[in-house]
Structure 1
Amino acid sequence: MASWNSIRLQVVSNVFGWIAFFSWSISNYPQVILNFQRKSVVGLNFDFAVLNFTKQLLYVVYNASMCFSSTVQKQYRKKYGPDEMLPVAANDLAFAMHAALVTGFTLFQITIYDRGNQKVPKISIAIVLVFYLTAAICVFIAIPKHSWFWLVSCFNTMQVVMTVIKYVPQAFFNFQRKSTSGFSIGNVLLDLLGGIANCIQMGMQSIDQGSFGNFLGNLGKTLLSLVTLFFDVVFIVQHYVLYPSKKACSEVNAELPGDIEENYEKKVDQSC
């Protein structure tokens, strides 16, 4: 099994790996807390929530297989070389398992809190079913040849595709509403920090090994970071530049006369 050449780089990599873990893990809570405070999930796109949960499940399977399956590990080294370090760290598995639990709880909140006129579109349900069907087909293809690393790599690729898909509905939803109220910006900022820390962690391993094998061997993790960074920037621009919530609230209040404004202001403050 390959080992680190530099203790310093190993320490730096571990530090940024756990920074990514805590940032990405905590990033799920602002939305949960916001939903609880408002007793409402209006503003949270349900496509995003459903697809996010499915993505996290796929990521759990990939990371758990890479961490605990000796067969998958052997097939990985057979493809990328015996001297290559495994591209999955303990913090990756810990994050995936935690994220699956929290996103599952977010779906539970959707069932109990005020949804307004929002509902889970049939298209997101169809997308999830297609992904599960694809996963099942991959399993049947892998069984005869015992291609387990190929199988979990397929799951990893699917979770990256799901990551791209899950962000688009929320970004478009914000655009339609011309508002980001109900969608936690704290989630986005922590997500951004996690993505940056994740890239640095992988970079430290590449420098130490003098190889980009960890980027190519875990292409899903690499693409996950890049996609996350891109959409986080989009959400930040929407929240702070295009649709600043305070400005929107003040404009709404300015249009309301007297007692109506006073009564409505409380509702606006809660939603903003």
Structure 2
Amino acid sequence: MSSWKSRPLGIAYQTLGWISFISWSFSFYPQVILNYRRKSVVGPNFDFLVLNVTKHTSYLIYNAVLFFSRAVQRQYREKYGFGEEGLVAANDVAFSMHAVLLTLFTLYQVIIYERGNQRVSKTCLSISAVVWISAIICVILACRRHTWLWLISVFK
């Protein structure tokens, strides 16, 4: 992350970012705990879980690459200017990683607990397949052209 020109603004950015991380992360636990206590996943929409894991994985790819890759950070600054502050903060990466893990854990609960006659819809599976096939095609195109910033923007 870039350094802030104003120390108080940088501290506020970091503080609010971690408060946001804690708040949003907390929202995953009630369903996981309820599923565990009941040993059942009857009720939650499975399509929502599948689409959520796709969304959060995409967001994780964007955050992690922009946070850790100096090449992508350079491409970002060349395109948008060198004065950009805080491209992606550590709390963004932490949240997206946490969201993927908790959503995958909830999907694991779908596999092991009683689920009644609930299923993931064919529409949801089709949409998810199109999204991930498109992502794979974009990765292939980006590898040929070394357009990493464009690639992670696809995942945003």
TM-score range, shorter chain: over 0.9
Corresponding residue number in structure 1 for 2:118: 118
> What is the TM-score normalised by the length of structure 2?
0.95
2:2–2:87 contact (8 Å) kept in structure 1: no
> What is the TM-score normalised by the length of structure 1?
0.55
Q: Secondary structure at the match of 1:5?
A: coil
Percent identical across equivalent pairs?
56
Alignment of 1:218-237 (within 5 A): none
2:66–2:73 contact (8 Å) kept in structure 1: yes
Q: Secondary structure at the match of 1:115?
A: coil
Structure of larger gyration radius: 1
- Per-residue CA distance 1:85-127 (angstroms, 9 max, x = gap): 2421000001111111110000010011121221111111111
Q: Structure 1 residue 3: deviation in Å? A: 2.9
Q: Structure 1 residue 136: deviation in Å? A: 1.0
Q: Kindly tell me the number of residue pairs found equivalent between the two proteins.
A: 156
* C-alpha distance 119-34 of structure 1, shift in aligned 2 (>3 A): same
The question of 1:51 aligning with 2:51 is answered yes
Q: Structure 1 residue 144: deviation in Å? A: 2.3
1:66–1:88 contact (8 Å) kept in structure 2: yes
Larger relative contact order, structure 1 or 2 (CA cutoff 8 Å, min sep 6): 2
Distance in 2 (CA, whole Å) between partners of 1:86 and 1:13 is 9
Corresponding residue number in structure 1 for 2:100: 100
1:142–1:150 contact (8 Å) kept in structure 2: yes
Corresponding residue number in structure 2 for 1:263: none
Name segments (4+ residues, structure 1) moved above 4 Å: none
Distance in 2 (CA, whole Å) between partners of 1:21 and 1:55 is 17
Distance in 2 (CA, whole Å) between partners of 1:111 and 1:2 is 42
What amino acid is the match of 1:56? H
Gaps of 5+ in 2: none
Corresponding residue number in structure 1 for 2:5: 5
Distance in 2 (CA, whole Å) between partners of 1:89 and 1:149 is 17
Q: CA RMSD in A?
A: 1.3
Distance in 2 (CA, whole Å) between partners of 1:17 and 1:101 is 20
* C-alpha distance 140-13 of structure 1, shift in aligned 2 (>3 A): same
Distance in 2 (CA, whole Å) between partners of 1:12 and 1:70 is 25
Alignment of 1:63-142 (within 5 A): 63-142=63-142
Gaps of 5+ in 1: 157-272
2:67–2:87 contact (8 Å) kept in structure 1: no
